[in-house]
Structure 1
């Protein structure tokens, strides 16, 4: 493809020893495409970190892009001790891709108007401010999956700050598909409480039944009721011992599976 002038590359790859960085892109792509004048990309590389000593930092990765022309290049690195894995995101900005997966607390922010599908994952807690940043960075997001089993650190401070109206509400104006089944109860509350999250109507919700039961106080809690009326389909996962009548009253417009 030596005559190629425009290239868009979206790649998620498992590597053995080193993350994909600017040196890889120059050696394996750019040096072979002399006519290339537009190169947009998002590459997420993942590797095991067992017995690793010299693990690269964000600064190490960013340094490999110092001679890239035109595009602003963003990179960040995460290390997950529970999984014994590390991951590295590198991408050109403005970001032109539809998908942005495995976002962590190290996400640098910015505006991503083309992204429609987002996945959040971390072994560190997501605080409310993080969800505000996500909702603002992805204003046209339609599908969101959250994976985080770790409780928030600042639940009490959030309550007191919210009483003083010092925190905003995370607003999702285009979200239609929400998966919060592999999460701590704190994140179920984050999305179902109307004091923390604004949802539009016609939401498809994937959720663990036991978590839903705890957060909504067996479908009696008032500050989760408004967002639950905005659900039009709900997939309940895990063991169930609910009363279909009380559940249908709490989700009056939803088909329940």
Structure 2
């Protein structure tokens, strides 16, 4: 194709790791496209030892994709103005600074899903110093759906504390009821009150018996007995009215 001046693409792969020695690397993937002189190529390879899986993203930049899934702490950054749906997951903690990077890279993000069961390290340091004043409040201007079902309680605080996050009005929140009750101190915690008033629709996983300052919102109960994180995430995204074609574009 002698007249082809520019080639836009997005390649995503999932690897199962079983005692492999020579695993692909980000540098190796990048070298594959060394002859693409007219394209800026970004590659990112991540491994999850606990899950025995690996994920690889290779794409041309700037990108026009609307979905970006499987973002870890190794996210290379950049500006993605077309992306509307984001999935974050890692076996290492996400700190406050990471979410700042995500907000800046995806300024028009509308739906965000998060999978991380590791507690934040720097949050503990802030608590010891009893000082959150140095944290920049992250504003999600276009976020209208937030899935934090498969997370450690620290990330619920990350998004519900008004000292860390500013949510817009009319947000759909998907969350585990027991976790929500725990983090909000049985729905009485002042630090979570402001952002909770921004929630227009609340989808609770597992049964619940009582709630207070969320009573005027639209609440749905989802009963799921499934330990597979991705199954829960897919179900949440289906609840968010995402089609099967959209889901196939993400996973």
Alignment match, 1:183: 151
Q: In the TM superposition, what is the alpha-carbon distance from 1:35 to its structure 2 partner?
A: 4.4
| Runs of 4+, deviation exceeding 2 Å | 33-38, 156-167
Q: Which runs of 5+ in 1 are unaligned?
A: 1-32
- The answer as to whether partners of 1:209 and 1:237 remain within 8 angstroms in 2 is yes
Alignment-derived partner of residue 219 in structure 1: 187
Pair 160,96 (structure 1): closer, same or farther in 2 beyond 3 Å: farther
Q: In 2, distance between residues paired with 1:202 and 1:253? A: 12
Question: CA offset at residue 166 of structure 1?
Answer: 2.7
Taking the aligned partners of 1:214 and 1:64, their CA distance within structure 2 comes to 48
Greater Rg by CA: 1
Correspondence for 1:8: none
Q: 1:151 aligns with which of 112, 119, 125?
A: 119
Aligned to 1:173: 141
Q: Confirm or deny that 1:206 pairs with 2:174.
A: yes
In structure 2, the partner of 1:103 is 71
Q: Which moved more, 1:153-162 or 1:82-91?
A: 153-162
- Compute the displacement of 1:159 (Å): 4.3
Structure 2 stretches lacking a partner, 5+ long: 221-251
Residue 231 of structure 1 contacts residue 253 of structure 1 at CA under 8 Å; is this kept in 2? no
Say what the alpha-carbon RMSD is for the aligned residues. 1.6
2:105 to 137, 140, 148: 137
Q: Report the alpha carbon displacement of residue 160 of structure 1 after superposing the two structures with TM.
A: 6.5
Q: How many residues align?
A: 220
> How is 1:28-177 mapped onto 2 (pairs within 5 angstroms)?
33-159=1-127, 163=131, 165-177=133-145
> Counterpart of 2:80 in 1: which secondary structure?
coil
* Deviations 1:76-125 (CA, angstroms, capped at 9, x unpaired): 11111111111111111111110001111100111111000000011111
CA distance in structure 1 between the partners assigned to 2:22 and 2:159 by the alignment:
39
TM-score (norm 2): 0.83
Rate the CA distance shift 1:152–1:253 in 2: closer, same or farther, 3 A.
same
